[in-house]
A = this chain, B = another copy of it.
Amino acid sequence: MATGRTHRPATRSRGIPEATVARLPLYLRALTALSERSVPTVSSEELAAAAGVNSAKLRKDFSYLGSYGTRGVGYDVEYLVYQISRELGLTQDWPVVIVGIGNLGAALAGYGGFASRGFRVAALIDADPAMTGKPVAGIPVQHSDDLEKIIEEDGVSIGVIATPAGVAQQVCDRLVAAGVTSILNFAPTVLSVPDGVDVRKVDLSIELQILAFHEQRKAGEESNAEADAAVDAETATAVAPPAPRGATGGSRKGPDGDVPAVMPA
């Protein structure tokens, strides 16, 4: 059969690459700071430096939004702030529910960055009856029995999951069934959702593990040539006698192996 074009289903609707979308909030933040300092215009070079990206990339990103710059001058800060805000949908109010008001959920509830960009905490939801009615960050916690009602009444389309991982999928299912179509997941689980629902995850554990990988590589690079691991001032704190990082065969044990006595992270 014609191996060809029957690929991408949708989501690729014309315009604005995903990578660009992910950078727009970054530009917006830098532009907002400039706006507060009453800076009228900014060049791609300056703004790119502030946002920590390549200036050509920034210009190309903006070109997807239209031609909002003036050659020889740069971009009008105020105008660009508005255009990006509009493109991101921040000119409207987004009610958000947070489910799971534990340590993390409570911190999120009180987070200023939530309210600052058109996101409004519409409700805090927890399954613990002892929490019900208790105000967290000035907002009374509601019981999860009322989840569907809350979402429907407030027209919530964005949900934040901060429950334990074990119940995240069922919480997710209820949110989706109730009409939520965007989910930000803090629980360390892979959520499965129907088409048309977006899920983004924030996973502390994964970030740390990625850092550890590079950290290990840095440490191993100094004592690279041979095994002169004597100089590891930093990593010398390692307590375990890790498998000598030799060739692949150096596994300390076979299939029986040591599971590093851990829980699902």
The B-contacting residues of A in range 224-260, CB under 8 angstroms, are: 231, 233-240, 242-243, 245-246, 248-249, 251-260
Q: Is the CB of B208 within 8 A of A202?
A: no
Query: Does chain B have a CB within 8 A of A170?
Result: no
Q: Is the CB of B82 within 8 A of A239?
A: yes
Q: Is the CB of A81 within 8 A of B2?
A: no
The stretch that binds B, out of A124-132, A142-150, A211-219, is A211-219
Q: Majority SS of interface residues in chain A? A: mixed
Question: Most B CB atoms within 10 A — which of A85, A93, A213, A256?
Answer: A213
Q: Is the CB of A90 within 8 A of B212?
A: yes
Complex copy number for this chain = 2
Contacts of A233 in B (CB 8 A): 155
Question: Most B CB atoms within 10 A — which of A24, A95, A233, A262?
Answer: A262
Q: Is the CB of B190 within 8 A of A26?
A: yes
Q: Is the CB of B239 within 8 A of A78?
A: yes
Q: Is the CB of B88 within 8 A of A213?
A: yes
The B-contacting residues of A in range 1-59, CB under 8 angstroms, are: 1-2, 6, 13-14, 21-22, 24-26, 28-30, 32-33, 35-36, 38, 40-41, 50-52
Chain A residues within 8 Å of B, Cβ to Cβ: 1-2, 6, 13-14, 21-22, 24-26, 28-30, 32-33, 35-36, 38, 40-41, 50-52, 66, 76, 78-79, 81-83, 85-96, 103-104, 106-108, 110-114, 116-119, 154-158, 179, 181-184, 188, 190, 192, 196, 198, 200-219, 221, 231, 233-240, 242-243, 245-246, 248-249, 251-265
